[in-house]
A and B are shown apart, each in its own frame.
Chain A
Amino acid sequence: MNPFDEIAVEEAVRMKEKKVAKEVVAVSCGPTQCQETLRTALAMGADRGIHVEISGDDYTAVQPFHISKILAKLALEEKADILLLGKQAIDDDCNQTGQMAAALLDWPQATFACKVEESNANLTVTREVDGGLETLKMKTPCVVTTDLRLNEPRYATLPNIMKAKKKPIAKKSAADYGVDLTPRHTVLKVDDPPTRAAGEKLETVEDLVSKLKEAGFYGELTTEDKYKRTLEE
């Protein structure tokens, strides 16, 4: 399971333990292996799973665009109050699905959450933003995407892993949610990134300072910045 999604499952299970949530439904869209991911979520404490099977070429081409449509429809069907997701996948690094599902549902969104508190059908969410933190208050139903500092996911215990084997996983398809999987992007090619050759190991800090000066670097930086500072003054 993607580490952000693990944090989302953990948060949902904690909501159930605090009696804020009645039921936790874990969802995974993709090939057969997703069932393993769902079993992990069930072992962490989710009540049941839904596997939306997408395989073969469909799976290769599927994008957050399609997944968000499936999740939006599914959230309505399941009458979910909170749709919790990881903030991004760790393969395509898109960071889109939660925001797109929120738009399709016309629900409020709290992305990159590091703290979530519930009171009377309102969520107060602290988000990690570029300069620090910000706090939003929103009505449920809503979408929350998780950042790394929200919680520490638990390890599933052996008894819970055994119990998870008996929990139900429903099997669905994208068509069940009326979602057309026609790709909107074509990947033309995938290349290796330019490689960085390892440089040299230096013996002393003095060597480093002279290397930086040799590269014209340190001198250039200070002159320019001194100039800038003079201008500012």
Chain B
Amino acid sequence: QSTLVVAEHNNEKLTPSTLNTITAAGKLGDVACLVAGNNCASVAEELSKVNGVTKILLADNEAFNGLLAESITPLVLETQKQFNFTHILANATAFGKNLLPRLAAKLDVAPVSDIIGIADKDTFIRTIYAGNAIQTVKVLDAVKVITVRGTSFEAAGSEGGSASTENAPECSVKNDLTSFEGSEIHKSDRPELTGAKCVISGGRGMKNGENFQMLYDLADKLNAAVGASRAAVDAGFVPNDMQVGQTGKIVAPELYIAVGISGAIQHLAGMKDSKIIVAINKDAEAPIFQVADYGIVADLFKAVPDLNKLL
């Protein structure tokens, strides 16, 4: 039994949820990691110290610029031909969701998306209907291709490992069909949303984007990340990468503070595994109060500044 994790990174640093995927992979056998990128040697070095990783396969090539599924898929296929992994895993993030189904189709296997648990080496647990039901699925294919929900697994320790690094198999990466034109990645000093210990999210009740400043101020006090409901993103208050929910990001922090969010099931799907949920909403009937440990029925424009003063 050996498992390949396709590491997610930005050519400089490992994406933190890769550490959670490595923990999931460790439940299935030996863990090898594939690092494909352009000038990404520092990522391999960072990974070599991660607990539980035995081998790193490095493919450093400018053809992997933009980490396109069209160019990484042939590399993973070639790697699989050589090593015959029983499982191939990646994060259930935009990166993994884009790449792994393409890979699975090439291997002629049916992938499993966004698992939250592992029952045994071919049986996996995942949510359906926006988290309203939990499905246990047995995979009949020989090779299992899986994306992993990071919040459902502990992060592997980032110190103490001693994995060896070797070059990934050579393959011709010819991709003249797609080109990466650029990206607009929002930089923030606050913790990353899916890994933060505390998340403060705003909804339609925030009324506009400027009012989110109240949440940023509070977040800075709590070392929290700031998220949003779909309604707030669709209304243009904040960018899409802040969306928490079924089709946005799944978070499970120690403390989740929902401000001016009514609590549609699609939003609850993205945050109901949080340890403590606090809801501030002026509508006492809002569904968010059904999952909140502590609810305050109040005008957020008064409650949030008050909270800010008291913390």
Residue ranges of A at the interface with B (Cβ–Cβ < 8 Å): 4, 63-65, 68, 87-88, 90-104, 107-109, 111-112, 114, 124, 127-139, 142, 147-149, 183-193, 196, 198-209, 211-212, 215, 217-218, 221-222, 225
Contacts and interface: CB of A to CB of B under 8 A. Distances in A.
B98 A185 contact: no
Given A129-B183, A199-B292, A205-B310, A103 B140 contact: no
A148 to B, nearest CB: 7
Contacts of B66: 134, 136
Interface of B: 66, 68-70, 73, 93-95, 97-106, 109-114, 123, 127-141, 176-186, 197-198, 222-223, 230, 233-234, 239-241, 246-247, 249, 254-255, 272, 276-278, 284, 289-298, 303, 306-307, 310-311
A148 B230 contact: yes
B183 A225 contact: no
Given A189-B136, A190-B135, A95 B130 contact: no
A186 B234 contact: no
A190 B100 CA distance: 24
Given A111-B97, A185-B138, A198-B292, A148 B247 contact: yes
B21 to A, nearest CB: 14
27 contacts: A90-B130, A95-B101, A96-B101, A96-B104, A99-B100, A101-B105, A103-B103, A128-B241, A130-B93, A132-B239, A133-B240, A134-B183, A134-B185, A136-B181, A139-B176, A142-B177, A147-B247, A184-B110, A185-B112, A185-B139, A187-B138, A193-B131, A202-B296, A205-B298, A208-B307, A209-B307, A221-B254
Given A108-B178, A199-B292, A212-B294, 9 more contacts: A131-B183, A132-B241, A137-B179, A137-B181, A147-B247, A148-B233, A185-B112, A196-B272, A198-B290
Contacts of A95: 97, 101, 113-114
B91 to A, nearest CB: 9
B94 A208 contact: no
A198 B240 CA distance: 29
Q: 4 closest Cβ contacts across the A-B interface?
A: A199-B293, A103-B105, A99-B101, A184-B110
Given A192-B133, A217-B254, A130 B234 contact: no
Contact of A99 (B102, B234, B255, B292): B102
A209 B121 CA distance: 45
Contacts of A208: 278, 294, 296, 307
A63 B69 CA distance: 21
Contacts, number: 245
Interface residue SS majority, chain B? mixed
A64 B101 CA distance: 9
A132 B255 CA distance: 24
A139 B177 CA distance: 5
Nearest to A198: B290
A112 B94 contact: yes
Contacts of A101: 105
A96 B230 CA distance: 22
B102 A102 contact: yes
A124 B95 contact: no
B240 A114 contact: yes
Contacts of B138: 185-188
Given A100-B102, A109-B102, A209-B310, A130 B94 contact: yes
Contacts of A92: 128
B295 A136 contact: no
Contacts of B104: 65, 96, 100, 103
A126 B100 CA distance: 20
